[in-house]
C-alpha cells in the first residue's frame, strides 16, 4: 500500500478529479493548502503599498492506493495537472504500513 500525495494548482483540481475517476479512484482527501517553491509568491498592492505575498494557494490531494496502481494513478495526476509553467506542483509516493476502515474494521488492502 502506498500514499500518493499531490500538490497542484487550484484551477487544475477539476481536471485531476476527472482523470482520477477514469482510472478508477473512488475516494481521496483534498485540502486547501499554501506554500511556495520555484514559483515564489506574488505581489499585491493596497493603497499604493506593495506587499510580497510569499505563500501561494494550492490544492493537496491524498490517496491511499494498492501498490500495483501507483504508476497509473500518479501518471494520471501528472498529466491532468500539467500546464507546462512554473508552479504546477509535485506528486510524491510514500509507503503505508496499515489501514483500517472505521465502519467495518476491515484492514489493509480490504480497507482501500
Partner 1 sequence: MCYLSREQSGLMTPLVVPTSAGDTAWLLISAALVLLMAPGLALFYGGLVRSKSVLNMMMMTFGATAAVLVVWVLGGYSIAFGDDVAGGLMGNPMQHFGLSDLVSGKADSWLSVPVILFALFQGLFAVITGALISGAIADRARFGAWMVFVSVWTLVVYAPVAHWVFDFSREGHTGGWLANSVGLIDFAGGTAVEVCSGASALALALVVGRRVGFGRDPMRPHNLTLVMLGAGLLWFGWFGFNAGSALAANHAAGLIFATTLCAGAAGVLGWLAVERVRDGHATSLGAASGMVAGLVAITPSCASVTPIGSLIMGASAGAICAWAIGLKYRLGVDDSLDVVGVHMVGGIVGTLGVGLLGSPLAPTAVAGVLYGGAPTQLGRQAIGVVAVLAYAFVMTFIVGKVIDKTMGFRIDPEHEVSGIDLVVHAETAYDLHATAGARSGPFGH
Positive or negative torsion for Cα 62, 67, 73, 75: positive
Cα end-to-end span (Å), the chain: 9
Q: Is 105 in the site for partner 1 (CB under 8 A)?
A: no
Residues numbered 14-73 forming contacts with partner 1, rule: CB under 8 A: 44-53
Min CB(53)–partner 1 separation in Å: 6
Nearer of residues 50 and 97 to partner 1, judged by Cβ: 50
- Alpha-carbon dihedral of residues 71, 24, 79, 70, nearest 10 degrees? -20
Task: In angstroms, give the least distance from the CB of 43 to partner 1.
Answer: 10
Total number of residues that touch partner 1 (CB under 8 A): 10
Residue 24 beta carbon to partner 1: minimum distance, rounded to whole angstroms:
31
Length of the chain: 112
The answer to whether 90 and 38 are in contact (CB under 8 A) is no
Contact residues for partner 1 (CB under 8 A)? 44-53
Amino acid at each position: 500500500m502506498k500514499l500518493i500525495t499531490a500538490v497542484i494548482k487550484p484551477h487544475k483540481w477539476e481536471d485531476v478529479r476527472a482523470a482520477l475517476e477514469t482510472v478508477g479512484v473512488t475516494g481521496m482527501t483534498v485540502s486547501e493548502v499554501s506554500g511556495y517553491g520555484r514559483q515564489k509568491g506574488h505581489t499585491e498592492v493596497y493603497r499604493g503599498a506593495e506587499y510580497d505575498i510569499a505563500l501561494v494557494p494550492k490544492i493537496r490531494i491524498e490517496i491511499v492506493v494498492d501498490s500495483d496502481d501507483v504508476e497509473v494513478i500518479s501518471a494520471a495526476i501528472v498529466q491532468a495537472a500539467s500546464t507546462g509553467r512554473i508552479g504546477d506542483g509535485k506528486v510524491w509516493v510514500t509507503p503505508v504500513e496499515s489501514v483500517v476502515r472505521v465502519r467495518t474494521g476491515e484492514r489493509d488492502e480490504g480497507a482501500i
